[in-house]
Chains A and B, each alone.
Chain A
Amino acid sequence: MTDDDRDLDEARVAAYLTERFGTGPVEVASLRRNVGGMSRETWFAEVLRVQAGEQHRESLTFRLDHPEGSVVPVSLEREYKTFRALGASPVPVAETLWYEDDPQLLGRAPFYVRRTVPGSASAGQLFASGNEERRRKIGVDLAEKLAAVHTMDWRAAGLAEFMQVPERAEDHALLELEHYERSYRAAQPEPMPVVEVLFSWLKRNVPHDVQRTSLVWGDVGVGNFIYAGEEVVALTDWEQAHLGDPMKDWASALWRGVDALAPRDMLFEAYERASGLRIDEDRIRYYSVFIDAEYVGTSFPLLSELGPDHTRDATFVRLGIGVPYMCMEHGLRTIGY
């Protein structure tokens, strides 16, 4: 595969959209790859199309796996289905348009297209000086949106049709843990005692009760939601979503530093008020180690893709070393070593 093959081609994107919209020629004004979020590729397209004699500008997002595959052991189709299922729920997400598995369309497949939600995901803007009050409001709104995720009717939304439903309390953690451990072992990484310690601790300390079986967003943090003004207008990055313990999302949120938006107590209070669920800090600590193991499970296998006969670019080397070793250290410290 050449460098050109790796990129999306504007002409092919225009031809594809012309056929899909079916309203006349579509022109691609810009097409750029998103920086950040390494699980898959995200491309933003600004397009112009004519409908009923009037020109419309559309902002679209293309999601596709890296040519070598996804970093997360979750199919792109499942991510698309999650977005689509949430479209009719109280959880704000971008509108999905099409899922495609024909490589003839863009030269790469599968991929899916969704509308780009107007707003920003930028941490830089949010943490600019003078934005303190705005950050607090967005933090509280994020906590309330998280409550909406955790209290939504996932059966009615059809999520149980493609997500495993935990039957026992322990399954809320163990189903996902098995999934990531399997992915880790399938890559046949070098022997890592510290990873064994984390997986083992998570099994030996698995929670035996759960407040509620919820949709778990799976990757909660600044950069993974769109804000406009003082409001969170869309939640993104659903590739690690599953049915489980809502406290896992709080572990993810704190692991990724959402308490830099607003004081932790303020976030917890807004969440408890909106959800009727209780914050359980011991459970959050458990899932904090879980997040470490999950990131090890997704990132460390990348290093197995470098060898005498094959390689990957420096961004994956950085991801494959920088994330798992950081998580190993953090996880070990959290369990008391």
Chain B
Amino acid sequence: MRPTAEELLASLRLSLNDTVAPKVEDRWARYVVSAMDLVLAHLQLRMAGELDAMDADNVDMSATLVSLAGLAVRHGEHGGEARDRWAAVLERIGSPEPGGPGQRLDDAVARNEELRGRIVAVLQWLDETDPGDEDPQLRGVRDELHRLVRRQVDRLVPLVEPLYMSFRPVGA
């Protein structure tokens, strides 16, 4: 159907900013109108970029988990205490499949939350197992996950940036 969803959002923002906002006198109501406009701006970016961002994120998380699972298997082969420790990591990783681009946003989002849950489980396991950050092997795993998290944040920032709320003084 035409117009596209993006074009409809642009129309809503136009009405809000050119017609509604100038007529709103109450300061609180003006603040709400401004928040509405920013949420619409976020929606425009999200509709254009969310599926790609989710797909890229899912591929990245899957690859990181597969790599971590490989590492856990190799370290676990040493037996004894190491075997138990790395088996615990494997349990939290589950069976990650190599990621590929999804067809639908809903599916990609659901997969993204599921994979993020696994990453969270491994991060929490690291805290339980090595709270003092003393084990060089685990420090390496933590560093790898932190780099993944940096890439994730970089993917999301362009979508959410319009909503950023600076606490610094206006006009400074």
Contact = CB atoms under 8 A, between A and B. Distances in A.
Contacts of A323: 165
A246 B156 CA distance: 34
Given A190-B116, A325-B160, A337-B149, A197 B123 contact: yes
A204 B124 contact: no
Given A123-B171, A196-B124, A337-B150, 11 more contacts: A128-B171, A193-B119, A257-B169, A260-B168, A261-B169, A314-B38, A318-B35, A318-B165, A326-B165, A337-B147, A337-B149
B145 A313 contact: no
Contact of B163 (A223, A257, A321): A321
Interface of B: 27-28, 30-32, 35-36, 38-39, 42, 113, 116-117, 119-120, 123-124, 126-127, 131-133, 145-150, 152-153, 156-157, 160, 163-172
Interface SS of B by simple majority: helix
B170 A204 contact: no
Contacts of B145: 193, 197
Nearest to A43: B28
Contacts of A127: 169-172
B172 A123 contact: yes
Interface of A: 32-33, 35-36, 123-124, 126-128, 190-194, 196-197, 200, 203-204, 221-223, 255-258, 260-261, 313-315, 317-319, 321-323, 325-326, 328-329, 332, 337
B172 A257 contact: yes
B32 A315 contact: yes
Contacts of B166: 326
Contact of A35 (B27, B113, B146, B160): B27
B84 to A, nearest CB: 22
